[in-house]
Structure 1
Amino acid sequence: MTVEEAPVSLQDAPGRRLTMIEAINEALDIMLTRDPDVVILGEDVGYFGGVFRATAGLQKKHGKNRVFDTPISEGGIIGVAVGMGAYGLRPVPEIQFADYIYPGLDQLVSEAARLRYRSAGEFIAPMTVRSPFGGGIFGGQTHSQSPEALFTHVAGLKTVVPSTPNDAKGLLIAAIEDNDPVIFFEPKRIYNGPFEGYYDRPVTPWAEHPDSLVPAGYYATPLGKARVVREGEAVTVLAYGTMVHVAGAVCREKGVDAELIDLRTLVPLDLETVQKSVEKTGKCLIVHEATRTSGFGAELSALVQERCFWHLEAPIERVTGFDTPYPHSLEWAYFPGPVRIGEALDRLLGH
């Protein structure tokens, strides 16, 4: 039985400056307290508190039956979570890095995503798979991938990517409460601050960033609703995760009157907000870190083309990672950065 608690008002509640890691930890703590059916499992999530410390202190507070370590078996972690969900629990498995999720892909695609449909609604899989993803920490080929497009392709899965501490907490709570399986990708490059440029540029600490103000207590940010980071008239910029901060910094530096939209959830997608913006600006730039071919930007481009064709004043631009294996030593050239994003904006605006 869930503990009833009045939700906080995001307008009136006192807030604290938190990092994304701290906001995620707080969301997990709140849900463990509110709902005895919530459990956390994964490699090193218990005593150690997770490789990035997202679950620090939770086992000590809530006990080893609620927060517990597992063997190094991603297929086993996901498979157990599917069974837990069907039984009535709300598991939150952590996959230590998104690169490790592939051994559990069959359990996600063939079991979790289809359970509600194949059982005619008799069983559900209310599980939230948390995983750090993306590059920026010099983690190499096996700690830096961005596989979000694989999961957006699977009917029955929801895919969420926060870009701020405020949203990380609210979206994670909403994901845990959702009755369908959610893939919750956490951009580890901005765990401790919104890195905006290249590695040799200063990081703006979350303690100085307006989007790090996180209300205390329980609140849920609805899945399927994008956030308009800044309004503008010249061009619509679509991004999520780390790229929201990178693209925003480029627009500020170049003085572009861009409307920047943080998608927040890729599935379900807030197509209404996207369409309204592109119809207003007539131009669209899509930015994501993952490889270009069959990346989520391709789906966005197709949707914008279908919905906004008669409003477009220029071809849709995409700035993405390259179609190569993840390049460890050249990762900062691989990422969409100020130069490539700036060039795309110049093409769109005819500069």
Structure 2
Amino acid sequence: MPDSLLPAGINRVLVTGGAGFIGGAVVRRLLTGSDALVFNLDKCGYASDLASIEALPESKGRHQLLQLDLADTEATAAAVQQADPDLVMHLAAESHVDRSIDGPGAFISSNVNGTFSLLQAVRRHWEGLSEERRSRFRFHHISTDEVFGSLGATGRFSETTPYDPRSPYSASKAASDHLVNAWHHTYGLPVVLTNCSNNYGPWQFPEKLIPVVILKAIAGEPIPLYGDGANVRDWLFVEDHVDALLLAATRGQLGQSYCVGGHGERSNREVVETICQLLDERWPEGAPHARLITRVADRPGHDRRYAIDPARISAELGWEPRHDFSSGLAVTVDWYLQNQEWCRSVRQRAGYSGERIGTRA
């Protein structure tokens, strides 16, 4: 990142989904790396948590939670008016593929209707700004590589890859991407888009692969491995993603999209086995943990491979990930071992005990 986290004149930032995993990391970075006021618009759903933000001294007086559902048009408009932002970073989304299989309606409501509601409110706000503030204003939409569908054994996703979503989650995110692009071309809204690969790191709600494996292993429970375990993902450490997001939000070309990947392609089996090896060293009780790996029926519509070519954001904005997968995973495993009480607390609050979901065909 440049020496100054935010350009001059960016004094008020609205982050949607700022109580989530990636959004929370963005909020923390804004609070510790800038003097901006941060407005956190979040419905505070099952995976939301503010502990990492509220622990920061900088949150006092500079972080304000605006609790509402983006699909509520009137409440969203009022929140945007209250925040009066110079920059909007839109991360709010239902994001767990397995949950989208069981309940796709929530994904349409949040990711499609919520994005539409936000775009309308932000457009009205932007049109009412002074000429000076209008010239600085940006709307940054954060999306996923899953909108591109599934890769074969070779090739990588880029900004020119055709959209081909395969799950209710990825279809809803693809729709939101198209809405953002339409508001740019039709209304002139100054937007930037990013599509990222799989994020991992501390503070992730423990329903995603890496925290699930860690918690199952240390509890001595079977570690579920979908299908043959050969599905490949490009893993991106969350703090490296935040670096990329802030670069794109403040320095990216308007109307452009940037693909963000961590150069961390691994099969699910490789990820699970590596976690087990790390736990054998750090949590020897129950070792070898790989004995717990249990193959289960594959996820319906499970994309075979994702991989991202981040050449554009590297060439234009100078971004490179600071963590390789091995070092980032070690940090992540250590964090979950040290924060088991947080995991218990958030799972209890969400009514989620680690059971598998998303098996409906």
* Pairwise same-fold verdict (TM > 0.5): no
TM range (shorter): 0.3 to 0.5
> TM-score, normalising length from structure 2?
0.37
